[in-house]
Structure 1
Amino acid sequence: MPSHFFVPCLKGSTIQRKNTIVRHLFTLLFSVILCSTQVYSQVINPRTLPQEWGEYGIGDPYILKFRGKFYLYCSTRDDQSGVKCWSSWDLANWTYEGLCVDNTVTITKGAYAPEVIYWNGTFYMYTSPAGNGHYILSSGSPTGPFTVQTGNIGHTIDGSVFIDDNAQMYFTYAGGSGIQAAAMSGPLAITGAGSTLSGTSLNGWTEGSTLFKRNGIYYMTYTGNHVFSRGYRVHYATATTPLGAYTAGTNNPIVLNTEGSFFGLGHSGSVIGPDLDTWFIAYHNLLGQSSIVGPNRKLNIDPMGFNGDKLLVYGPTYWTQPSPALPTFYDRFDRTAIGSNWTNINGGNWGIFNQELMWQDNKTTTQWYRQVTTATSAADYTAEFNMKEMSRGGNGARFGAVFSYVDENTFGSALLSSFNNTLETDVKVNGVSVGVSAIPLPAGWDYQKWHVIRVEKQGTTFRIYLDGMLKSTRTANITAGGKIGVATYNDHADFGFTAFSNRVNGSGVFGFYKPVPGTIPAVHYNEGGEGVGYHDLTIENTGGKYRTDRVDIRDCEEGGENIGWNQTGEWYHYNVNVQAAGPYHLELRYATTYTACKVRVSCDGADVSGIVAIPATGDWSAWRTAVLKNLNLPAGNHTIRLETVEGEFDFSSLKFESGTTTAPNGSDNFNSGSFSGLWNYDNGNYSIASGRAAIDGFGKRLMGNAGWTDYTVEADVQCPSGGNGGLIFRVRNPAAAEFGTSNALSSDYFQGYYAGIDAGGIVLGKQNYNWTSLASKTQALSPGQTYKLRAVLNGANIKIYLNDMSTPAIDYTDPSPLISGKAGIRTHAANMAFDNFQISQELSALIFRCRVDIP
């Protein structure tokens, strides 16, 4: 930012304001245009902010945006009172604003998860002291002081408020079988007892909800199950009504990491970032239990992306990332003169007040006065305007925003009328109006308080929001860029933070450097067009979906959109931010017909995969996963190219996971009387008895490398009389439930496969912190007898053997395979023992060769 001359200015009459302008005629003018291509500082998760709670940090973060600035609130340490607040213009650099609730307010002792909304001039805070119901506080400022407005309204913990387009409010909160919700009659009143939202359960206590709306879809993010578990995680679900049936995302969990020093990720809040377009998720990670009281946590912020209705987090990250992009143009009016970045239309009395806003106070004439930017937006953009009315000159007074401004004959407008209590929208093209639409606003709307108008232009469609509520959708034939600005008519109005970004409807994620490991939707390829972001052999977008360039995109059977009709010679670029130099597996989700294809991956022009054949899937709707193993990638920011060398296929995503060049190998016969040092994860009360690993209850143990893909794992497994137990493999993100104890949840806390036995036979299933049965074989087994159980993994194919090592009891090919991870043993509510545990690459290769060679 350029520096400014700061001269005090008292806001007052027209004469005072004119004198202010005269006093500053000789003040130097400075630019406030900042381009999204500017080099910004970098950030890294987790983050340490000034004046965090000692040995408690920042937990349950919530971010509010007001007048272009972001305000962060977090839980209060259990033995302290008051609520802390920070502010930031860019989500990267934060300033401590002090206690927004004084520490003498006793109901804020251990204030859990304070969240703040802005409604019609007032800020409302919802918080639960030490988990004992909720109180509502209010303030005229986001930094307080907030004062208590209600008694205890109950409703467990983690209350969050959502305001729909029709101004109806909803309160969501934690519950034992899913997120609870209730309608509100206003910001201070909850209607009824509430009910559980179907589809939002994490198989136990579920908390930390946030609800937002995008493109007509309601998105609920939620967390479970216990803050002290390494497996604390974030899921999402979607619905078509706020209190309707929710459908959990197929790519859940969207935030999870359990191993190393970065774990216990959860309790998220979501906000649109500084570029006006990209969504961000704020969440905490767990350092451990405070030596004083409560959990010790840190703040993390990552971008979110959308592919159709599918939401994903570009993370979780814990290595250096670029700071969030800023708007293409913005003005905070943090100076003493309007400056050369604005063009006056028709005069008026304009000025700057207190280095924070621009005003126009001529209300004696019935004349339109405008200020428009000298900067011009792209054809598609998002714009934001903050404003309030000081006083009107007559009943016809209007104030508001102009956009796509070319001249006085071609522009759009969104104007507020305090007399009519309406928002009026119109678009005029070559002097012809598409028609004024007057939208009634809620009764009691206070026009002398700050409000924000947001405009999203995409193609010929304009979506116009007021205070986050979609109020008007207009269509007009304006296909080029234009300027933005503010306007008054017979009115005295103030204008705050004003900006536009050449981003709209989530396009901000296309070009930024996406974290690896991580998942990239195919349709999030780089910008720049033909020959830069992609090479496509057809001129048109066959399929006509999602983006407007010539890449062929269609609706995907698995949700969202995919790149289709991908032909020989075509390629796509993806910017990536690689965590560390080394091998990575690439999972390519694709579909084709009856002809195999060939692909190649390069990094900054260097071939990192060679030419890899991917088999036919049999149908364009038969989606499968091809695994390109151990691509060697350098650390930092790079550009990946996916090239079709031969054939034609559709693809929907690229998922990078850590790989390894270490061959699968490891064993333990438990004869030493203790567990081998190869075991690198344990949960449960396993012990060594008579040369076997024994347990009575729940638990799991793992050894190996998360990058192992194809291998054989086997053990001698004693059949239990109750419960079940067996082998787990291709396991990532193992965890225990609350406080690290072993219980029924703990045995299911991992992502991977399970092959186990009980008295009724053999079962194969997949765990993703919930159970999905894949295949089973009914077979009478004798409790107490030991059986040799073996799993052989080759790509998507899994063979399970029991005693008979030549004929598999289960032969299953997973259309959506987990492709790499550790291996070990798991027990669920059983008294049993294990012996002769072994992981090997040789057995897998031998059995695979036999399968190929013998018809």
Structure 2
Amino acid sequence: MKPWRTLILGAAALMLLPVQTYAYSNPFNLTSSWRWANNDFYGEGDPYILKFNGTYYLYVSTVDDQTGVKVWSSTNLVDWTYRGLCTTEAVTKAAYAPEVFYWNGKFYMYTSPGGGGHYVLSSDSPTGPFTVQTGNLGMGIDGNVFIDDDGKWYFYATGADTLIARPMPTPTTFGAPVATGLSMAGWTEGSTTFKRNGKYYMTYTGNHVWSTAYRVDYATSSSPTTGFAPAAGQNPMLIDTEGANVGLGHNGMVQGPDLDSDYIVYHSHAHGGNAVYPGRKMNMDRVVWNGDKLLVLGPTTTAQQNPDLPDFEDRFNRTAIGAGWTNVGGGTWGIYNQELMWQDTIGNTTTYRQVTAASSAADYTAEFHAKQLKQGTSANPVYGAVFSYTNESNYGVAVLSRNLNRLETNFVVGGVSQGWQHAALPTGYDYTKWHSIRVEKAGAAFTVYVDGMKKQTRTVSGLGGGKIGYTTTDAHADFGYAAFSNKVNGSSAWNAYKPLPGKIEAVHYMNGGEGGAYHDLSAGNLGGTYRSGDVDIRNSAAEGKNIVGWNQTGEWLKYRVNVAETGYYDLDVRLATTFTDATFRVWDGATDLTGIVAAPSTGDWESWKTVGKKGLYLTAGNHELRFEIVKGEFDLSGLTFSRGDATTALLDDFNDGNDNGWTRFEGNWSVTGGELASAGAGAFAKTTIGNERWADYTVESDIKLVDTTGDAGMLVRVNNPANGTVLANNPDYVQGYYAFLKPDGVYLGKLNYGYQALASAPMTIPANAWQHMKVIASGTTIRVYVGDMNTPKITYTDNSANPFTHGKVGLRTMNNATRFDNFRVSP
């Protein structure tokens, strides 16, 4: 996995095999939160986290009527200590979205005070003091920096309702603007760019910070500046418009303490602020990967598993090296100021090492931090990391050469050198400053990063896991935070407890072998992709990700889940099969949750459908669920669990003169003469009622189009509705299906903060004439009836990867003054 563009080094205790027994929950309650001068709560808006020296540093936006930037620190992403103001420069009054990047000994802060253009500040420490380095550079708001593998810098900020990229010749200078093409059809801000497996990702936020529909999308590209395409079927990637924690946005990304897991950090609206500015609080949720698909395990508001710690870490916060390390080859080693380890013998070409007593597993991720103080007069003094170390006949090294300005790697297997290979480092590299080395070992592949830049991938057979450590040859060097984790390329997702309600990728079954994490009847992974072991995994072109294939009768897979609350849940299983008699069931320990469920033929192994089972009773807390293939064969893409409540019958004929129980979002609604009226000519409007946990139901209404333009109809499976006129002008602020009438016919569309046409049928709908419409939502099939209540005008099954299977009901008008009456919901 590509690490985020931050470095890692610091000071804390050596630790082996940590056990997580506690949990965090959103939103965070930090000490020393920003408050207005009148003491109203402002909080932690636009949170950004830098990882440096094994320690995390949190920076947030400054309240508008005060000056300075606050900083907190943590070693685990959960427990935060306030470190004070890291700058008090006058230009930081209302410093919006400060982000800090480390490079070559300096920390650079980018912020747009009051949204009035950007300044760059710098410091020698992540806690400051930061001093101003530039004048006002303009460039919108919410600046974000990305450093590519070749050491080139890029700056991203808002443009005219879009995001603009700029190449950066230096950390304080900016080139010509380049349009990324990304927009949320309105105000767009808060981007974060990173790279993973050769692909560029950008997360970005819209539409306005005080809208409940503030949300996060993501896009990908093969270029750091152009060609970004929103992730099809996966946006919004983060949204919640109703409940206690809404207005989710302006995210950053950070790698967890275990060196492998990823987290999305964002803010939500806070309670306790004033009426105009409600304040914001920080949130954090897990990100997992399947192929190049980014999936957020959230948003969550209940207790979640704390980020895992490494399997080994050392911050050298002691006075002596101790028994946890072994000297190999001599040299003079010691501890300085209880914060780093050093070796200062130079003047010869002898290689000196310190290696840990702890050894990694065969696959792992390791991180190292080093800087050179002096060097001898030999041709090529070097210093850096050793890994996969068993003895002097079996190990790997990744070292930095100041004289040749490069990374050098070598592997020794069975006493035989595999040969030195080199990778150039950026011009002007200062080797007397801290630099990080990261090693990812997956199978026989070793990938090496320097300061987050991917520099080498080498295939080396015959070398497993082993000890890690530091090495020097004719160099006096300091060594900082060292750690390894027995996880790599996102494998931390496998044993993570996935929050329910939520989605589980089929390939994210538990770590472990036959009979423990799974039962598989065929030898080896028939698809040969993603994971080792006997479970058969292939890449599905139709799904655009890895799936579990060749499932046979009697096989099973286990998944870890974290159930938010006790109650009934509905399960949707995404599968493909040509068998006509396939079945499955799900167990919670010895409890059969589902009974035997039929998995009907989908017609082809790349034709995917969603099969549902309702009424699974789950208790709150952590569980290990077992998915069993009872009969036949089918390929499995994923499982989605939703809270499910029985649909309650509802009738509103509006004869009481009001629309109590309905939630109006836009438009000019009124109850007149026993009818619900929307004065929607030239505008849009929606109103909703019911329970977001409803699944299958019938909804009916009498509808009269008053005008000869526009449309009107019913909403089903409604989720995350919001007012599209609050600081915006967008009619599609809702998720669900829209069955509607126009003068020329009956239509069905899908709304997901954008509109997708699904189906239509011609029909003459005269103005000022009542029509009776009925919509039946059952599983993933939507049937729309108009007039004739026996034969549907439209029958549509949503076989996409993201069908809406639960939600409220509602009414909607678009540019039509419409009347509604006799609205009914039936189970």
Q: TM-score if structure 2 supplies the norm length? A: 0.95
Find the counterpart in structure 1 of residue 672 from structure 2.
689
Q: Secondary structure at the match of 1:132?
A: coil
State the distance in 2 between where 1:585 and 1:512 align. 21
State the distance in 2 between where 1:389 and 1:413 align. 17
Shift of 1:683: 4.4
Number of aligned residues: 802
Shift of 1:544: 0.6
State the distance in 2 between where 1:811 and 1:303 align. 38
**What amino acid sits opposite 2:826 in the alignment?**
S
Q: Secondary structure at the match of 1:830?
A: coil
State the distance in 1 between where 2:87 and 2:110 align. 12
The more displaced of 590-599 and 640-649 is 590-599
| Contact 1:680/1:704 (<8 A) preserved | no
Shift of 1:798: 1.4
Find the counterpart in structure 1 of residue 432 from structure 2.
448
State the distance in 2 between where 1:63 and 1:473 align. 28
Find the counterpart in structure 2 of residue 354 from structure 1.
337
Shift of 1:681: 6.2
Q: Secondary structure at the match of 1:508?
A: helix
Q: Closer, same or farther in 2 for the Cα pair 1:653/1:215, shift >3 Å?
A: same
1:576-624 CA-partner distances (Å, limit 9, x unpaired) = 0000001111111110014231110111231111111121100000001
Find the counterpart in structure 1 of residue 6 from structure 2.
none
| Contact 1:229/1:738 (<8 A) preserved | no
Find the counterpart in structure 1 of residue 685 from structure 2.
699
Q: Secondary structure at the match of 2:816?
A: strand
Q: Secondary structure at the match of 1:528?
A: coil
Q: Secondary structure at the match of 1:107?
A: helix
Pairing partner for 1:341 from 310, 313, 324: 324
1:20-67 CA-partner distances (Å, limit 9, x unpaired) = xxxxxxxxxx9823214x134311110011111121111111111111
Find the counterpart in structure 2 of residue 61 from structure 1.
47
State the distance in 2 between where 1:177 and 1:564 align. 43
Q: Secondary structure at the match of 1:620?
A: coil
| Contact 1:594/1:619 (<8 A) preserved | no
| Contact 1:31/1:341 (<8 A) preserved | no
Q: Secondary structure at the match of 1:749?
A: coil
Q: Closer, same or farther in 2 for the Cα pair 1:160/1:415, shift >3 Å?
A: same
| Contact 2:395/2:463 (<8 A) preserved | no
Find the counterpart in structure 2 of residue 50 from structure 1.
31
**What amino acid sits opposite 1:598 in the alignment?**
T
Residues 1:207 and 2:192 aligned together = no
Shift of 1:478: 3.2
Q: Secondary structure at the match of 1:98?
A: strand
**What amino acid sits opposite 1:128 in the alignment?**
S
Pairing partner for 2:577 from 592, 596, 600: 592
State the distance in 2 between where 1:179 and 1:559 align. 26
Unpaired runs of 5+ residues, structure 1, are: 1-29, 842-855
**What amino acid sits opposite 2:291 in the alignment?**
G
**What amino acid sits opposite 1:749 in the alignment?**
Y
Find the counterpart in structure 2 of residue 39 from structure 1.
20
| Contact 1:401/1:413 (<8 A) preserved | yes
State the distance in 2 between where 1:781 and 1:406 align. 80
RMSD over aligned Cα, in angstroms? 1.6
1:235-292 CA-partner distances (Å, limit 9, x unpaired) = 1111112123123222222211121111111110001110000011100111269328
Shift of 1:234: 1.1
| Contact 1:227/1:738 (<8 A) preserved | no
Pairing partner for 1:276 from 259, 262, 274: 259
Residues 1:227 and 2:209 aligned together = yes
Residues 1:298 and 2:281 aligned together = yes
1:355-392 CA-partner distances (Å, limit 9, x unpaired) = 10000011133211100011010000000001101111
1:545-568 CA-partner distances (Å, limit 9, x unpaired) = 100111000001211100001111
| Correspondence 1:21-32 to 2 at 5 A | 32=14
**What amino acid sits opposite 2:204 in the alignment?**
Y
Shift of 1:749: 1.2
The more displaced of 305-314 and 811-820 is 811-820
State the distance in 1 between where 2:161 and 2:816 align. 26
Pairing partner for 1:131 from 109, 112, 115: 115
Find the counterpart in structure 2 of residue 736 from structure 1.
723
| Contact 2:413/2:463 (<8 A) preserved | no
Residues 1:803 and 2:787 aligned together = yes
1:704-740 CA-partner distances (Å, limit 9, x unpaired) = 222222211111112133322110001111112464x
| Correspondence 1:537-576 to 2 at 5 A | 537-556=521-540, 557-576=542-561
Pairing partner for 1:832 from 797, 809, 818: 818
Q: Secondary structure at the match of 2:288?
A: strand
State the distance in 1 between where 2:690 and 2:277 align. 34
| Contact 1:133/1:155 (<8 A) preserved | yes
State the distance in 2 between where 1:596 and 1:115 align. 56
Find the counterpart in structure 2 of residue 244 from structure 1.
226
| Contact 2:394/2:463 (<8 A) preserved | no
Shift of 1:123: 0.7
Find the counterpart in structure 1 of residue 613 from structure 2.
628
1:738-780 CA-partner distances (Å, limit 9, x unpaired) = 64x7x741x3111110011122322101111111110012333
**What amino acid sits opposite 1:520 in the alignment?**
I
| Correspondence 1:648-797 to 2 at 5 A | 648-660=633-645, 662-677=646-661, 679=662, 682-696=665-679, 697-719=683-705, 720-737=707-724, 739=726, 744-745=729-730, 747-797=731-781
State the distance in 1 between where 2:276 and 2:139 align. 24
| Correspondence 1:525-544 to 2 at 5 A | 525-544=509-528
Find the counterpart in structure 2 of residue 412 from structure 1.
396
| Correspondence 1:232-631 to 2 at 5 A | 232-249=214-231, 250-287=233-270, 290-291=273-274, 294-394=277-377, 395-556=379-540, 557-631=542-616
Pairing partner for 1:92 from 65, 68, 78: 78
State the distance in 2 between where 1:744 and 1:467 align. 43
State the distance in 1 between where 2:356 and 2:94 align. 47
State the distance in 2 between where 1:181 and 1:109 align. 25
State the distance in 1 between where 2:664 and 2:573 align. 29
State the distance in 1 between where 2:818 and 2:587 align. 49
**What amino acid sits opposite 2:687 in the alignment?**
R
State the distance in 2 between where 1:295 and 1:80 align. 17
Q: Secondary structure at the match of 1:651?
A: strand
Unpaired runs of 5+ residues, structure 2, are: 1-11, 36-40
Find the counterpart in structure 1 of residue 38 from structure 2.
none
Shift of 1:176: 4.0
| Contact 2:101/2:107 (<8 A) preserved | yes
Shift of 1:140: 0.8
1:154-204 CA-partner distances (Å, limit 9, x unpaired) = 111111000000001111112344322121112111110331x23x32222
| Contact 2:665/2:724 (<8 A) preserved | no
Q: Closer, same or farther in 2 for the Cα pair 1:585/1:683, shift >3 Å?
A: farther
Pairing partner for 1:151 from 109, 118, 135: 135
Calculate percent identity across the aligned residue pairs.
52
| Contact 2:13/2:313 (<8 A) preserved | no
| Contact 1:669/1:837 (<8 A) preserved | yes
**What amino acid sits opposite 1:130 in the alignment?**
G
Find the counterpart in structure 2 of residue 3 from structure 1.
none
State the distance in 2 between where 1:345 and 1:642 align. 50
| Contact 1:228/1:288 (<8 A) preserved | no
Q: Secondary structure at the match of 1:757?
A: strand
| Contact 1:34/1:326 (<8 A) preserved | no
Q: Secondary structure at the match of 1:375?
A: strand
| Contact 1:592/1:650 (<8 A) preserved | yes
Q: TM-score if structure 1 supplies the norm length? A: 0.92
